[in-house]
């Protein structure tokens, strides 16, 4: 068994312990009338990097803070173009009024390019070269500017409500602080 498969098996076993010792049943998404409940109206979009945990650095699932149920969309680089299907789907289902878009320092997409990622994929899947060429990973050349670019993309997207509040941030992994961008 590979190291990754062993870790995956361990995580499944950990779930059994969690379910037995910690889990509390979760509220249903719909009310007694059968209709979906409206959410908080706030959506966080950030990176899949396991160091970047908005539940912690935004304090909405931390001891000492009031717990808040916020949806979090995690995609490679926290890029809006990767998250757009989730954003518009969550808005249609639960209502989204405000998006907090968070990129972070030392992001993997600042260390890779479309060319390097596509080269790796084409080496692995030479028969899928055409499909790989269709991909865009939206690497980050300049942190901060990437947030501004994504905010502009969302402002101009035809499926994003014009009255949606969009706030963009750069999360500094060294200090733990957010720096707001426009």
Instruction: Please give the Cα distance from 6 to 42 (Å, whole number).
Output: 37
Please check if 47 is assigned to a binding site. Answer: yes
Q: Give residue for tokens 């076993």.
A: 13
Kindly state the DSSP code that residue 30 receives in the 8-state scheme.
B
Please check if 106 is assigned to a binding site. Answer: no
Distance of CA 102 to the CA centre of its chain: 8
Assigned token pair, 151: 């905010």
Please check if 33 is assigned to a binding site. Answer: no
47, 103 Cβ separation under 8 angstroms: yes
| Alpha-carbon distance values, 165 to 10, 55, 97, 112 (Å) | 41, 20, 6, 31
Per the DSSP assignment, residues forming a β-bridge with 171 are 104, 178
Please check if 91 is assigned to a binding site. Answer: no
Closest C-alpha to 58, from 108, 101, 122 = 101
Instruction: Please give the Cα distance from 9 to 1 (Å, whole number).
Output: 10
User: Residues at the annotated binding site for Zn(2+)?
Assistant: 47, 49, 104, 107
Numbered residues of the known binding site = 47, 49, 104, 107
């Amino acid at each position: 068994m590979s190291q990754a498969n062993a870790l995956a098996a361990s995580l499944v076993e950990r779930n059994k312990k969690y379910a037995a010792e910690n889990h509390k049943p979760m509220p249903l998404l719909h009310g007694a009338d059968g209709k979906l409940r409206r959410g908080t109206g706030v959506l966080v979009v950030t990176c899949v990097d396991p160091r970047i945990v908005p539940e912690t650095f935004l304090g909405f699932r931390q001891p000492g803070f009031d717990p808040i149920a916020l949806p979090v969309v995690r995609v490679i680089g926290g890029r809006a173009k990767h998250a757009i299907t989730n954003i518009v789907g969550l808005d249609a289902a639960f209502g989204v009024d405000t998006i907090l878009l968070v990129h972070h320092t030392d992001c993997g997409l600042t260390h890779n390019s479309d060319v390097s990622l596509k080269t790796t994929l084409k080496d692995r899947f030479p028969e899928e070269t055409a499909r790989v060429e269709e991909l865009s990973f939206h690497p980050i050349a300049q942190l901060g500017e990437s947030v501004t670019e994504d905010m502009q993309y969302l402002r101009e997207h035809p499926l994003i409500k014009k009255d949606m509040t969009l706030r963009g941030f750069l999360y500094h992994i060294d200090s733990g602080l957010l720096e707001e961008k426009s």
